[in-house]
Structure 1
Amino acid sequence: MKTEVKLPWIELGYTIFANEGPSAIKIEQLARKVGKSKSSFYHHFADTSVFLEELLKYHLKQSQKISILAKACQTITPDFIHLLLQIKTDILFNRQLRVHRDNPVFKECFLSANIPVENAFLQIWTAGIGLESNVKFAKMLLQLTIENFYLQITAANLNEEWLTHYFNEIKTMVAYSDKKQKIDGFV
């Protein structure tokens, strides 16, 4: 019951954090948008730091749910791309964690949230980019791709066209690299 009462606060705070960052979390603004008093906020969360802890816990729960959904994907295009479009707020929240990773708590949450999703996605990733025979390299490339993804992603470009192009570019890069190695005699 208590969680249900807190959920509107958490969901709104999660969205604000995702779109504007942690500095945009203002109790008065939250209270107005939730339609409750500021004292209600303090009753549930005591202060902003407790509220941020709740947002991070919520994000980690979301990443567990996302990992289950990612495991069910059969392909990058369209399955995984459609999943990414369904979880835009979660992606943008994770991006904010990455941007603000100078805060050790945000950095830890970012890393912890990525692990289950990366593990769930790795199999279709290796197949999707043509690296089934080199899973270790595929995993390293996935980690670099995730870093690059969060540098480029915005609320405006998080759409099917951009995601499709992004994943196709990676696939092309891997194919070109493999072809170049064979031509140069490295393989």
Structure 2
Amino acid sequence: MKPIEQPWILAGYRLFAHEGPKGLTVEGLARVVGKSKSSFYHHFADLEVFTELLLRYHLNQVHRIAEQERQCQNVIPDLVNLLLTVKENLLFDRQLRIHRTIPAFKQCFDKSTGAVGEAISGIFADMLGLAHNSALTRMVLMLSLENFYLQLTPETLTYDWLVGYMHELQAMVRAFQANDRQQSILYGSV
């Protein structure tokens, strides 16, 4: 991104994160940046080009965050605290998920969740007690991310909510494991 484009991209990022694609209007962007609409068209041919740059910017952000996620030693509190510092990025991903019927948004969302999944799968597996089963870890992670974005709002994105969400995931996996052990006892190991 060129330095002169930065205010536009940052404004678009915030608008998209909170309002989705309907927030991306030339008028709204110009108002937030404090420039004229013609200034927008001077830097970007149209909203489609701008949106492509915005998605590219998001993926760069995601890869930067994924590197930070890899450095986390555990989910609570390390990953949770990191997530609280990147709220806008999470809300941007949420909008991509909501509007994934748009092919470019789906592609960006898939790349984003793939990068996140790869970055946190190790500590996620440890948290859930699934370090011995990477395939199951990946499935639970993808399902929990889907559910995470369904529940995510600017208001719910708090430390307590994130910790509670992680505890719910742990409880769910423990319940499945207990049920599996019970089935093995009742029916014998297959």
2:170 equivalent to 1:158: no
Match runs of 1:101-140 below 5 Å? 101-140=100-139
Partners in 1 of 2:143 and 2:101 — Cα distance? Answer: 19
Write the letter of the residue equivalent to 1:92.
Answer: L
Where structure 1 has 5 or more consecutive residues not aligned to the other structure, the ranges are none
State the secondary structure of the residue aligned to 2:110: helix
Partners in 1 of 2:168 and 2:81 — Cα distance? Answer: 18
Partners in 2 of 1:147 and 1:114 — Cα distance? Answer: 9
The Cα offsets for residues 120-164 of structure 1, whole Å up to 9 and x where unpaired, read as 100000001111111110111101111111111111101111110
Match runs of 1:63-74 below 5 Å? 63-74=62-73
Partners in 1 of 2:138 and 2:39 — Cα distance? Answer: 45
Question: Aligned pairs, how many?
Answer: 186
Greater shift after overlay, 24-33 or 8-17?
Answer: 24-33
The Cα offsets for residues 78-125 of structure 1, whole Å up to 9 and x where unpaired, read as 011011111111101011011001101110010011212110100000
* TM-score normalized by the length of structure 2: 0.94
Partners in 2 of 1:138 and 1:97 — Cα distance? Answer: 24
Partners in 2 of 1:141 and 1:57 — Cα distance? Answer: 28
Write the letter of the residue equivalent to 1:51.
Answer: F
Partners in 2 of 1:129 and 1:141 — Cα distance? Answer: 9
For 1:98, the equivalent position in structure 2 comes to 97
Partners in 2 of 1:33 and 1:99 — Cα distance? Answer: 24
Identity of aligned residues (%): 44
Partners in 1 of 2:108 and 2:94 — Cα distance? Answer: 11
Write the letter of the residue equivalent to 1:136.
Answer: A
Partners in 1 of 2:130 and 2:140 — Cα distance? Answer: 10
Greater shift after overlay, 174-183 or 66-75?
Answer: 174-183
> 1:183 Cα shift?
2.3
Match runs of 1:1-187 below 5 Å? 3-185=2-184
> 1:48 Cα shift?
0.7
The Cα offsets for residues 47-104 of structure 1, whole Å up to 9 and x where unpaired, read as 1111111110001101110110000001110011011111111101011011001101
Write the letter of the residue equivalent to 1:60.
Answer: L
RMSD value, Cα: 1.2
Partners in 2 of 1:151 and 1:33 — Cα distance? Answer: 28
